[in-house]
Amino acid sequence: MNYIKTLEKISEDRGARLIKYEDFLNGIVAHLETAKFKGEENGDRKDWIATADIIKMIYEFKRELYTNEGA
C-alpha cells in the first residue's frame, strides 16, 4: 500500500510541474502576441522579435526543468 501512495505522490508532483511548465510556455506565447510584435496600420512590419527576450525566457524554462529534474 505504501508503494501505491508513493507512486500517487510522484504522479501528483509531476502533474503539478507540467501545469507550471505549460503556464510558463503560455506566457511566452502571450508575450509574442503583444502589440510589440504586431504590424503597423500603414503596412510597416513590426513583427521582428527581440530574440534576447525569447532566449532569456527559454533559459529560465531550462533552469526550472533542470532544478526540478528527478523530483
* Total domains, the chain: 1
pLDDT band for 18, please (50, 70, 90 cuts).
confident
CA–CA distance, 33 with 30 (Å, rounded to integer): 5
Residue range 42-66, pLDDT digits in tens:
767 766 777 788 888 888 888 887 7
DSSP tag of 41: T
Domain, as residue range, for 61: 2-67
What percent of the chain stands above pLDDT 70? 85
pTM above 0.85, yes or no: no
CA–CA distance, 25 with 60 (Å, rounded to integer): 11
Contact predicate 53/30, CB 8 Å? no
Residue range 26-47, pLDDT digits in tens:
888 888 888 777 767 776 776 6
Q: How far apart, in Å, do the first and last CA atoms of the chain sit? A: 21
